[in-house]
Chains A and B, each alone.
Chain A
Amino acid sequence: MFFKKKLNHENVESGDFPLKSNHPDVVFLDNACTSLKPREVIEGISSYYSEFGSCALRSVHKLGKQTTTAVDHARKKISQFVGLKKAEEVIFTRGATDSINLLCRSFQWSEGDEVIISSLEHNSNLLPWIALGEGQRVNLNIWNIDKDGRFDLKELEALLSKKESKLLSLCSDSNIIPIDLPLAEIISLAHKNDVLVHLDASQTLLHRPLNFNDLNFDFMSFSFHKILGPTGIGALCLKEEHYDKMKPAILGGETVVNVTNKAYVLSDPPHCYEAGIGSYAEIFGAVKAIEYIEKIGYSQIQKKEEELSLLMQEGLESLRGMTFLGPGLNSHLVNLYLGEMDSGELSILLDKNYNIMTRAGVHCGHYWYNQNQLNPSLRISAAFYNTESDIQRLVEALQEVSKNYL
């Protein structure tokens, strides 16, 4: 046994995650793509269909009212989870991509405005801004983060100090490499230059808290499927005062209070930003995901993930042919190359031969890979419900692949 420490998993019951029970041989290390779902979340989704089954905000019958109350409760719960004061500061979306597109298209830009993003952004926080630049006179500036995760704050400060800069949109954690951005300093710099800050928190909230109270940013997007919740539901969270700078880009059911043949009167936010019927079942599941995270507690989650990171570090750093992308190994997320082996082939070998689920490719970070002239790589991403045995199997598998297939 090459591991020095034993893990403590007393807060995560073995039956909490049905997928793990149904596939006991599978090691799931693709958590940066999507997380596993606790039983409560699955039951929460099911409870909407079996116990509520109605439309919120529209129907006055008792099932409709119950659904409205439950959705209002969910909005409140989410606003508290991210440190916002009012439930109205949470807009339900289909996910982080939808949230960022909504912000991008609803914000009232002026000609010549500039948006700053980092080079490490997921396509969901890059493509909407590129597209915005094509359609309107909004320019995109990209702050460079190199292949080792190094960055220059002075370069960012220079971009922020341009009078045209309007919004800084950054990931709080990357899905490609582990990176520790000094968010407090960056946000302070941005605000000093009258630049608003949007954080893409998709890769953060499964692992650590991030809230408006602590960091004073302006907008935040995330997807629930990455934080134990269902797919197809996310949120754009914002401070209430920023609604003044926005106008809904998508209109439809429940976005208006009155309509004539030439005009309409918008509902109050957040409803005017939620056109069409809501994803109620997913909202029910999302609340259960937050409750599950609160039950385990971020301190326990972080403690477990630190232990798992240490085990990965111990097991992987001495493997033949292994090279790592980014600043190093001290994270639940590791991005690597094994010799010259194709990352797709490696991922398939790990799946077929060892039942280990990983992710290969450029991880929706085409720009960063192209800019740094990097080949597609293999990403291993652990979460607090992974076990010592999972990491041991991964290390043993990579040892065998390194020995036999390189």
Chain B
Amino acid sequence: MLDTGCCGTNLRNDRISFWGYFTLAFPALIVLSAMYPLSFLIGSERRGKWKTIVVSLYEMSKRIILVPKLKLFISTKIYLISPVLSGFTFKLFNLFWMMSMWFLLAWIVLTIQRLI
């Protein structure tokens, strides 16, 4: 949790479960984003819905509390170089972190397979 004292910054009632997002929403976001060019084949109305889902999944990622101190530490250090880059880091930190965890998981699985 954030180091902000006793005053209940950790009492958000719209938090999203990390494991739920990591195992379901995040893979869906990656797949739907990667396949987005295909949406041009299915008509503008469906493309609109596709985009809404992708944006919603992305916005959901911001509600996950995932190593917040590290996120703020990195963002505030980058701010000294570029406010825009700092904002970019802040917004995409959770996605980057989850992507790294998926790569790590994949590497572990592949390594185990190779060893077997």
Contact = CB atoms under 8 A, between A and B. Distances in A.
Given A348-B72, A404-B87, A364 B13 contact: no
Given A342-B2, A344-B4, A404-B86, A349 B76 contact: yes
Contacts of A363: 7-8
Nearest to B7: A361
User: What class of interface size applies to chain A in its complex with B?
Assistant: 20 to 34
A61 interface: no
B7 A360 contact: yes
Contacts of B11: 361-362, 366, 369, 375-376
Contact of B2 (A341, A344, A404): A344
Contacts of B84: 404
A405 interface: yes
A352 interface: yes
A361 B72 contact: no
A22 interface: no
Interface stretch (B18-26, B38-46, B61-69, B99-107): B61-69
Given A345-B68, A353-B86, A361-B4, A376 B9 contact: yes
Interface string B64-108: 010010011001100100011011101100000000000000000
Nearest to B68: A345
Interface residues of B, number: 28
B12 A342 contact: yes
A344 B72 CA distance: 10
A352 B79 contact: yes
Nearest to A374: B13
A340 interface: yes
A174 interface: no
A277 B87 CA distance: 53
A359 B9 CA distance: 10
A369 B65 CA distance: 20
B30 to A, nearest CB: 21
Contacts of B88: 404
A338 to B, nearest CB: 12
A255 interface: no
A342 B79 contact: no
B5 interface: yes
A22 to B, nearest CB: 22
A389 interface: no
Nearest to A352: B76
A349 to B, nearest CB: 7
Contacts of B83: 353, 400, 404
26 contacts: A340-B62, A340-B63, A342-B2, A343-B9, A348-B72, A348-B76, A349-B76, A349-B90, A352-B76, A360-B7, A360-B9, A361-B9, A362-B8, A362-B9, A364-B7, A366-B8, A369-B8, A369-B11, A373-B13, A375-B11, A376-B9, A404-B86, A404-B90, A405-B75, A405-B86, A405-B90
Interface of B: 2, 4-5, 7-14, 59, 62-63, 65, 68, 71-72, 75-76, 79, 83-84, 86-88, 90-91
Q: Which 7 residue pairs spanning A and B have beta carbons closest together? A: A404-B87, A361-B7, A344-B9, A362-B8, A352-B76, A344-B2, A344-B4
Given A342-B2, A352-B72, 19 more contacts: A340-B62, A344-B2, A344-B4, A344-B10, A347-B4, A347-B9, A348-B76, A349-B75, A352-B76, A353-B76, A361-B5, A361-B8, A363-B7, A373-B13, A375-B14, A376-B10, A400-B83, A404-B83, A405-B86
